[in-house]
Structure 1
């Protein structure tokens, strides 16, 4: 056991150990532990150090540069990872042999193509491994020999092995196969968003007919063109050396995705009507290299965007035939799922809505938030599973294909009256049987299910009040490894489900946040672990329970290790509106119980659906350090995972459906009461702040409950949800044309008349996520309402996530000043 291991285990034994092996699939649903818990200090700190804003908001390289994008070598003997170059945005690759004693060595530029990749494809016998490096395709044989398949400045992607061990890859939407034994590269099929070419014919119309009849040159040219076309088609049909005919889907169409069978007999293709860019959506950039104002294109607003339904087609590579796969076999494909919403909005306008069957728009479960393919072939090539969603966000289906009848066969339906989550949609096939595994929130929490194609219903494999993610199936189908927050909602450990007896075993007991990657030989786990007080580093353990954990990297700076940081306690704040408590971080000053009642700040995390009151290292590390600074100066800080946050189940997530800013502010009010009752806080000395969704919450709190806080700072805030993007907003509020009530109920601009306390608004001007327009419109509204208790700071060169240390420092100086002057 090395010193890193000893240090880590000392932190765990000091308060983060939980119950042993759990037979999750065979027990009643469990209840989370609500005992306050906190990460323990790991480093020898210097209590004399006082934090400063200048230090906190400096380039974060001073904290250390954690490993990123780590993955295993093909032989499972070492790991590769990237590390940010000091003072630069560039990343360098390092390799760390498992038997080394340091952080590893830089990989020479000349050898980068030999590493492999985090995403690799294996042949059926797992003797060949393929990956992409800088747009080119590489293959590694079992003996370690590397074959470079392509060498081009053109980008290739998606390597895939066929059942006959040929390698397939694509350039654009043209699929190529390579016989690795002969080197022959063949075009399998090319997908075209054009009309299918036809043999030249005499144009219609009187003048064209007469021209062809009277002018011999025209008639001769027409005959020649037709003969050449027919000759080429005859040659293509008769000669096996010719490339096959392309598949045409029509002009003005867009290919969403395509997936090839491992037998190369069929291709699944999803297409939709191409949508031109909305010319209205631009973002002025006032600080440019040439001194001009640049009008940069940005995303659609939810008010303007209507997603196009997708057509799903089965294409035969044998004869080029295309078979449309109708959605009519999917249960609920024509339900009017928004009938109640439409009726409520119609009533508000003095109208009546009559519900009727409606053909819903449907497409693949692919979006900006989901990376895996929604079309998953069984390794035999005999079955394919497709994950589909209704574009109204209320249904998700898994279906297979009957290749004889050319129809979809529904296997599973997940319906949610609010919206189907964009997380927890992993699915796939067991390797040795025609059985699906998938995640589903249908029980209220993300759990594992399986479904054999011969079964009518899916089988639930895990159960309890916790969330499962990142399932990884072993090649022999014996285990599914996963991450879950079983014992406490803020502590994520690694588990595995034994498919032989359906028992679940706990593998890690580290506390905090732990992610994993199973090694290619499936004997080891590469762990990425952190706590509230310790940024991410890499660890190693055998892939079995009770195995020792060894630290592979130590990238935290000596400067950071000396900081006397406050370990926030994760507490369960009782809710006056739900049975579940609001899990929250609380930062206490060392002497918070002494003297008169103190002042406090409540932080509102961004993203809405994000968990920040866990025990891992926070993406809000600047805020974490700022909260430590406030605690050093006598403040108490509360950081709440209000309703809508990730990690607490479906009901917690969907509480904001059609009422964003209502349950979250109720939770903030419970947080205020908890501070007063439990942390010696003066009710009249509490402020709040947050960015993005947290900025929106600051608006709603100060506008709708003006007596709750004495001051607030809204950073890069949403003021009107009709101006935000479609994928996120339409899930929660539907769309403005269907559900204007939800938008008016949820947008701060409709409640700005309630402002009575000091408000700081900080807005980046080149924000392509929450447009600067959000702040401009709200400020004009406040001016017209003759409000005086607000100030606005603008940041001309900053996007949604600030990049310049000077901007971070200016922003937090203003926030600090707001609290100092008003609390």
Structure 2
């Protein structure tokens, strides 16, 4: 055997062995029913007396999760709650009184009060209609509630029930014309003239009617809602006012998604959402003045900046822009406990302004307390959407309100004195605040923050007027805390990067140790050594530090190829130290790494968790910085991890699918192959609520849509593209990829293929669909990034 033949055979052996690299994992294993992984707790709740923790679980291998509990008296015992007991438990209902000794709630049409200490329920009232939103008034003898879109109050002591409002749907009924037809009038007149007895009786009837009308006095006031629906009916603590939202969805054109495999064997059309720019919803806040027995609407036309034009109009110098009053949506009214004040949150429908205002209940006028303007769009943790105010309410002193704002670039908690307008930040720094609430004794805040780092979440306690935060959790990762009603214990859902969620509890002190209550991983799941991906940052072309999760293969199997994963939702965080909602993709990345791929998962511009500037980095150009972050990530791998620049693939679903298309169309020199799953191809065809915030409206800002939509760049495709989409996707419609496929056909592109899934919506549910899709993705990468590069 010559030396050349020997080395040739040796090289062939090494190459075959390298590319035959195996893994304990397989697509079939990863994508099967998630039950194979084990059972993990969710939806944690405490009982009323803080004695037990309830949660959804599946310890007994039922067809679906059931309700389980752990009693603090015996925390090692996990027991299933019987069906007969479960049907009588409703953890979500109820409003406490100030001292939190009682709770009021409804069971259908029955008003019920609960004594917290004894656990005794008392039925106060049975009503003909279902009762909603019961709560205590300032005088806690009185209970306020809503039924059939009207407000009522009930006295526990006297048993008196009062109806405060008279609200009725539709238009005021037209009074019948008292005049009868000519023919009928003639006959009636002749009858009365001829028959004197009948005439006498008719005269008596008319006299009696006149007397009855005089005695009745003023006609009862009724407010007719017309075409509006009533939402968020709220009764002031002094029962002098009732506020309610008048909501009208409008007649936006719905789009159709055909279901080709309906059980009937006929194609059935699913009516789904309208498209961006087609939004006719209207919402107004109305006030029912009980003493004056009248209704008037909250006036928003004097809001500062209500006629301001957005900055992007400068890109359209040939278009005339009218500075007119913008449409707004007003939140429910938030009343101070004594009923003296009320505030509202007002959002412009273009979402560039948010006003917090004091509401004069006597006339519906607003006095501005705070205005936040964002030339991109208002958002962030605790800031709320649409008709909601987000984190908002009153301190017990009845003069300070609290809310969250991104005024500093990160969402923080603020106080504002409504008597003098002074504002104070309770938290500050390059981190975000989540879900703050006030303690039972009303002396402290409880809140979750990312202060330790954007990849962790911890639970804190802080003085009510601000001060040092006391960290109450210590386990690295995410600590999702449910505080017991007596505030003595924490129930903690905790997970780490490679450890799914488990339930813990601990005493409500900094020094107490957390005790693990569940251990749900199956033996087969635990048998694999799941990777703890590295959390890194790399430098983007504009100097920003971009966060990422990195999976690096062993040197012995490294194939010098890389795969970039693009998470969906746009505004979502996936670079963190807790168990990902993309758990299937996480497991797929472990499989890819076993096979020799370097994998990177990037929190590109637009992702959550990094403040306002990161969140709005995609404004008016999706496929701009969010795409260049992927390119910079690819270059980082080439420069630092020996990745071959011609062996880089990219994939993702929904927004990730959109970025994948933009990558293959606009950055063909960087990406050899890509798999675009359930992807938006033309943003003018997506929904209004999400898209209009980022790209405005297509008829007002066509520049933003044309530079952000992949269908306009399809001629740039050079690499290998897999398109996969569910045919009954009511979020990103199948029409998106049908239109794109026609465009690719017309362009003469032949380096793409499409897989369709007739039974799947936007989020796949069938293991067979997941398996088929990811086998295709793996085949794409293996065949185009590794096998095609043998030379």
**Match of residue 74 from structure 1:** 48
Assess if the C-alpha contact under 8 Å between 1:717 and 1:770 holds in 2: yes
Assess if the C-alpha contact under 8 Å between 1:201 and 1:226 holds in 2: no
1:638 and 1:586 map into 2 onto residues whose CA distance is 5
3-state DSSP class of the match of 1:75? coil
**Match of residue 286 from structure 2:** 313
Q: 2:404 aligns with which of 411, 416, 439?
A: 439
Assess if the C-alpha contact under 8 Å between 1:703 and 1:753 holds in 2: yes
Assess if the C-alpha contact under 8 Å between 1:114 and 1:146 holds in 2: no
2:208 and 2:78 map into 1 onto residues whose CA distance is 66
User: 2:312 aligned with 1:341, yes or no?
Assistant: yes
3-state DSSP class of the match of 1:656? coil
Residues 119-142 of structure 1: CA distance to partner in whole angstroms, max 9, x if unpaired?
531123322213466897643213
TM-score by length of 1: 0.85
2:439 and 2:203 map into 1 onto residues whose CA distance is 62
3-state DSSP class of the match of 2:291? coil
Assess if the C-alpha contact under 8 Å between 2:435 and 2:447 holds in 1: yes
1:680 and 1:644 map into 2 onto residues whose CA distance is 29
User: 2:726 aligned with 1:768, yes or no?
Assistant: no
| Shift in CA distance, 263/669, structure 1 to aligned 2, threshold 3 Å | same
Equivalence map 1:367-516=2 (5 Å): 374-421=332-379, 423-425=381-383, 426-499=391-464, 502-516=467-481
**Match of residue 299 from structure 2:** 326
User: 2:588 aligned with 1:588, yes or no?
Assistant: no
Q: 1:192 aligns with which of 144, 160, 168?
A: 168
Residues 93-130 of structure 1: CA distance to partner in whole angstroms, max 9, x if unpaired?
22221232335222222223554414531123322213
| Shift in CA distance, 423/215, structure 1 to aligned 2, threshold 3 Å | farther
| Shift in CA distance, 518/595, structure 1 to aligned 2, threshold 3 Å | closer
**Match of residue 259 from structure 2:** 285
Residues 574-615 of structure 1: CA distance to partner in whole angstroms, max 9, x if unpaired?
222143x111101122x23x5776111000000000000111
Q: 1:97 aligns with which of 71, 74, 96?
A: 71
| Shift in CA distance, 722/215, structure 1 to aligned 2, threshold 3 Å | farther
Q: 2:229 aligns with which of 254, 259, 275?
A: 254
| Shift in CA distance, 758/233, structure 1 to aligned 2, threshold 3 Å | farther
Q: 2:100 aligns with which of 97, 115, 126?
A: 126
Residues 347-405 of structure 1: CA distance to partner in whole angstroms, max 9, x if unpaired?
4xxx243x55310101135xxxxxxxx43222222222211100011011111212345
| Shift in CA distance, 775/664, structure 1 to aligned 2, threshold 3 Å | same
3-state DSSP class of the match of 2:644? strand
Q: 2:144 aligns with which of 156, 168, 175?
A: 168
Residues 761-804 of structure 1: CA distance to partner in whole angstroms, max 9, x if unpaired?
00101111000000110001100111001100000010100010
**Match of residue 83 from structure 1:** 57
2:490 and 2:203 map into 1 onto residues whose CA distance is 68
Residues 407-461 of structure 1: CA distance to partner in whole angstroms, max 9, x if unpaired?
1122111110100016422111112332111111110001111001123231111
**Match of residue 571 from structure 1:** 536
Deviates more, 1:551-560 or 1:799-808: 551-560
2:207 and 2:181 map into 1 onto residues whose CA distance is 16
Assess if the C-alpha contact under 8 Å between 1:712 and 1:759 holds in 2: yes
User: 2:36 aligned with 1:62, yes or no?
Assistant: yes
Deviates more, 1:803-812 or 1:116-125: 116-125
Which is bigger in relative contact order (C-alpha 8 A, separation at least 6)?
1
3-state DSSP class of the match of 1:809? helix
Assess if the C-alpha contact under 8 Å between 1:597 and 1:680 holds in 2: no
3-state DSSP class of the match of 1:684? coil
| Shift in CA distance, 711/86, structure 1 to aligned 2, threshold 3 Å | farther
Assess if the C-alpha contact under 8 Å between 1:329 and 1:409 holds in 2: no
3-state DSSP class of the match of 1:438? strand
Assess if the C-alpha contact under 8 Å between 2:250 and 2:282 holds in 1: no
3-state DSSP class of the match of 1:751? helix
3-state DSSP class of the match of 2:646? strand
1:576 and 1:323 map into 2 onto residues whose CA distance is 55
Equivalence map 1:266-281=2 (5 Å): 266-276=241-251, 278=253, 280-281=254-255
| Shift in CA distance, 550/484, structure 1 to aligned 2, threshold 3 Å | same
| Shift in CA distance, 711/617, structure 1 to aligned 2, threshold 3 Å | same
| Shift in CA distance, 501/292, structure 1 to aligned 2, threshold 3 Å | closer
3-state DSSP class of the match of 1:806? helix
**Match of residue 738 from structure 1:** 700
**Match of residue 364 from structure 1:** 330
Deviates more, 1:424-433 or 1:176-185: 176-185
1:428 and 1:229 map into 2 onto residues whose CA distance is 52
Give, in angstroms, the shift of residue 684 of structure 1.
1.1
| Shift in CA distance, 65/188, structure 1 to aligned 2, threshold 3 Å | farther
Residues 669-705 of structure 1: CA distance to partner in whole angstroms, max 9, x if unpaired?
1101111122221111110100000000000110111
1:136 and 1:558 map into 2 onto residues whose CA distance is 48
Task: Tell me the matched-pair count.
Answer: 746
| Shift in CA distance, 687/149, structure 1 to aligned 2, threshold 3 Å | farther
**Match of residue 16 from structure 2:** none
2:769 and 2:210 map into 1 onto residues whose CA distance is 64
Deviates more, 1:69-78 or 1:682-691: 69-78
| Structure 2 stretches lacking a partner, 5+ long | 1-21, 193-198, 384-390, 786-791
3-state DSSP class of the match of 2:469? strand
3-state DSSP class of the match of 1:510? coil
3-state DSSP class of the match of 1:462? coil
| Shift in CA distance, 135/439, structure 1 to aligned 2, threshold 3 Å | farther
Give, in angstroms, the shift of residue 233 of structure 1.
11
1:236 and 1:460 map into 2 onto residues whose CA distance is 55
Give, in angstroms, the shift of residue 199 of structure 1.
5.3
Larger radius of gyration: 2
| Shift in CA distance, 265/710, structure 1 to aligned 2, threshold 3 Å | same
Assess if the C-alpha contact under 8 Å between 1:657 and 1:732 holds in 2: yes
| Shift in CA distance, 99/452, structure 1 to aligned 2, threshold 3 Å | same
3-state DSSP class of the match of 1:683? coil
3-state DSSP class of the match of 1:380? coil
Give, in angstroms, the shift of residue 519 of structure 1.
2.1
1:615 and 1:236 map into 2 onto residues whose CA distance is 71
Give, in angstroms, the shift of residue 231 of structure 1.
5.8
1:808 and 1:135 map into 2 onto residues whose CA distance is 45
Give, in angstroms, the shift of residue 812 of structure 1.
0.4
3-state DSSP class of the match of 1:311? strand
Give, in angstroms, the shift of residue 230 of structure 1.
10
**Match of residue 531 from structure 1:** 496
What's the C-alpha RMSD, in Å, of the aligned pairs? 3.0
Deviates more, 1:759-768 or 1:78-87: 78-87
